[in-house]
Amino acid sequence: MKALLVISHGSRRDESNMEVQRLTDTVRPLVSERFGIVEAAFLELASPLIPDGISLCVSQGAKEILILPYFLAAGRHVAEDIPEIVAASQKRHPDVSMTIAPHLGGSELMAEFLAGSACLPQE
């Protein structure tokens, strides 16, 4: 069973965290052929934190977890914090394959997405 774990920063503002949870709920059926499990987790300030999100996937039977950093730029959180946290979880779940995908903002199509009508109000 494959899992997709969407990692975002987390906010003191509940609405912000709920926004990411809603996004994850919307993504779930879109990727159901590839991922039997789709969950969200947070780097800080909100639950579940990344190790708990990983455990949540494992408890549902995940043998492979793709971790998607839902971040726009590869700052220290993406470059250092997330890999360190995932590496620590990997040690606790040595039989589960964990891969960190490129961060969302690294997509070659981001500029096009930003420029598109979805993001910029039309005249």
CA distances from 7 to 22, 95, 115, 118 (A): 13, 21, 24, 23
Residue nearer to a copy of itself on the CB measure, 7 or 91: 7
Active site members: 9
How far apart, in whole angstroms, are the C-alpha atoms of residue 38 and residue 66? 10
Q: Which of 1, 31, 87, 88 binds a copy of itself (CB under 8 A)?
A: 31
Binds a copy of itself by CB under 8 A, chosen from 59, 91, 95, 112: 112
Strand partners, 41: 7
Q: How many CB atoms lie within 10 A of CB 16?
A: 15
CA 79 to chain centre: 14
Of positions 1, 5, 16, 48, contacts a copy of itself by CB under 8 A: 16
Backbone angles phi, psi at 13, to 5 degrees: -95, 110
For a copy of itself, the binding residue among 15, 59, 94, 95 (CB under 8 A) is 15
Q: Could you list the residues that contact a copy of itself (CB under 8 A)?
A: 4, 6, 8-9, 11-13, 15-17, 19-20, 23, 26-27, 30-31, 34, 66, 68, 70-76, 78-79, 99, 101-102, 104-116, 118-121, 123
